Structure 1
């Protein structure tokens, strides 16, 4: 495709980490059960996955989003990232466990499980540090934060050098803001169809904390029935907010990935399109 670097790294507010404004979500590298996408897909083989990672790197993406709940995504990324680990920021999670036999998830937020999960992720990813570790909330954000002291657990892991930054993938405004008060980064949902968590992004901007956006393209559902180019309009909204560090895009289609990065780059350089 003859790609040149399109994305410029930016600082995650409040940290010393520099991140691409678009990150690659890797759930589709390891899990095809219990995921909410408009069409079915086949998990790519190693050659296809390697090509996708190479394209991502060529385009300037340096953020990979994975999780124990993404099937065998972590195990696959470990070997795939050998000899190029320094290029990537790896964001993984704790809290949600996925059973590939049943396609069901369960949650465990105890300090013992957090430590077990991190040590397991380090082995799977074949690395000695996870750049960003987020708690995979079950939706009861405040309960998870207050009952288990989980964000304090992340601070402990950070002090031990096992992670470089911590936070939570939240589902409520209150939980998102509390996460930012106690840690580095909140991952929130924000797209053309869902803007309820905007106060968390506003808070992050004011407090000099990081924000990752999940479902920026509404898991692929955003492209139906919009007047303007929905991908460009999505990036205009999401990356147009100065509080956003990066938007995670979970595609395994190289053409879609390339088109998404082009749209994001144009949005960042030109500003929002006028209708």
Structure 2
């Protein structure tokens, strides 16, 4: 699989990044409990299969259940072959407050040390803030702690997982974060506004939500009535599917990889078939200019409505 530079970090990553949440905890449409998940041995086998197939970039988090521990077991003896990205525990407590001073330093360093033990490694390639907001991005103490961890060699690159285009703009402007994880897909294309700025600043972009929790696949049918207009819009991509002869997941994957500013795209992989589909899509041949322009015209007209977290809370994704 082709590798792309991860911004100015000096790290090169596979075009597909293995999203590790699904192997660590129940997540996604139709996954209710552990019975719907892979066993640990099956997950390790899948991780090895991904690495052997050319995927070298693996994404996890302290908050992803057993994901870090499973990756630690899988890659204990192959650490030099993989690029590991993990994320700090959520910084905002139940009262909506961020720790400060020594408590903040202990919290962040404690989270990283827990991750290092679970991953069975002395350092991670990318250490990210998880679920940031403006308050976190504006907090100079947080930035300083992450930069010190980088100086100490416990992490190679700093990162932040953002949600809104405004957060992306702010994160790039700080000059602190080497890598940003952003939501971007056929439906919600708002983040493209800052692609060129990220490239100019040497910030690596890792795209998530490429398949919108599976909605941009066969799962995007017979949705909750509240999502009727979403389902209708997804059906409209049949035009592009006919034009390209790609199924919807492949079309969505190739669309994101058609942007040279994107370093890698995160794909949630908890089945061998999803791995095979991702490998087939990331073949180095992406959308032609005419198809790209049409795809850009077919973004969902109300992107603020595309709030998967809210949909889950409302039980619209059952």
SS of the residue 1:197 aligns to: helix
Q: How many residues align?
A: 255
Once the two structures are TM-superposed, the CA of residue 270 in structure 1 deviates from its matched residue by 4.7
Structure (1 or 2) with the greater strand fraction:
1
Picking from 123, 138, 145, the partner of 1:146 is 138
Distance 1:270 1:167 in 2: 27
1:30-62 per-residue CA deviation (whole Å, 9 max, x = no partner) reads 111xx3x22226221122112211220122100
The answer as to whether partners of 2:257 and 2:286 remain within 8 angstroms in 1 is no
Is the CA contact 2:250–2:277 (under 8 Å) kept in the aligned structure 1? no
Paired position in structure 1 for 2:116: 122
Residue of structure 2 aligned with 1:21, choices 7, 15, 19: 15
**Counterpart-to-counterpart distance in 2, 1:152 and 1:199:** 28
CA distance in structure 2 between the aligned counterparts of 1:189 and 1:244, rounded to whole angstroms:
12
The Cα of 1:125 is off from its aligned counterpart by 0.7
Q: What is the SS of the residue equivalent to 2:190?
A: coil
The equivalent position to 2:43 in structure 1, one of 33, 43, 49, is 49
Question: Is there any run of 5+ residues in structure 1 with no aligned partner, and where?
Answer: 1-6, 98-103
Contact 2:158/2:176 (8 A) holds in 1:
no
Shift of 1:232: 2.3
TM-score (norm 2): 0.75
Q: Structure 1 CA distance, aligned partners of 2:68 and 2:202?
A: 30
Q: How far did residue 121 of structure 1 move? A: 0.7
| Matched ranges for 1:1-275 at <5 A | 7-32=1-26, 35=27, 37-40=28-31, 42-96=36-90, 110-138=104-132, 140=133, 142-147=134-139, 149-180=141-172, 181-223=175-217, 224=220, 225=235, 226-227=237-238, 228=241, 229-265=247-283, 268-272=284-288
CA contact (8 A) 1:168 1:176 kept: no
Shift of residue 256, structure 1, vs aligned partner: 1.6
- Largest Rg, 1 or 2: 2
5+ long unaligned stretches in structure 2: 221-234, 242-246, 292-318
Distance 1:116 1:27 in 2: 21
Deviates more, 1:110-119 or 1:126-135: 110-119
Work out the CA distance in 1 between the residues paired with 2:276 and 2:165: 32
Pairwise CA distance, 1:18: 0.9
